[in-house]
Amino acid sequence: MGYVSPLRKLSPVMVDGVISVGGPLERASIQLSARHPMILPSKHHVIDLVIRDSHEWEGHVGAGQVLARVRQNFWILKVCDCAACDWKMP
């Protein structure tokens, strides 16, 4: 089979010129950013800032809660909140 983009599973859609997650929440009566979170790369300085801000906003909680908060507006590709990963809270 060849290379399969990680975006494919997210059913991406364009929302105001930004690639966002598509899918079954299209008609949900929730905020647009929650229905279609922006898709962001996993390794970028801005992502570190988003995670750090959410970590501080949530009161220095664990990775799972920070990831849940971040995913209200953003979908970061290839992020994992398990203990075995290199992804750690700032």
Q: Are strands 13-15 and 38-40 parallel, antiparallel or unpaired?
A: unpaired
1 lies in a domain? no
In a domain, 81, yes or no: no
Dihedral pair phi/psi, residue 58, rounded to 5°: -80, 0
Alpha-carbon gap, residue 5 to 8, rounded angstroms: 6
Is 12 domain-assigned?
Answer: yes
Domain that holds residue 29: 8-76
Tell me whether residue 89 is in a domain.
Answer: no
Number of domains in the chain: 1
Q: Does the pLDDT of residue 73 top 50, yes or no? A: yes
Q: Note whether residue 49 is domain-resident.
A: yes
Average confidence score pLDDT of the chain: 79
Residue 89's pLDDT is 46
- Give per-residue pLDDT as tens, 49-59: 888 888 888 88
Q: Which residues pair with 74 in a beta bridge?
A: 38
Given a cut of 80, is residue 84 above it in pLDDT? no
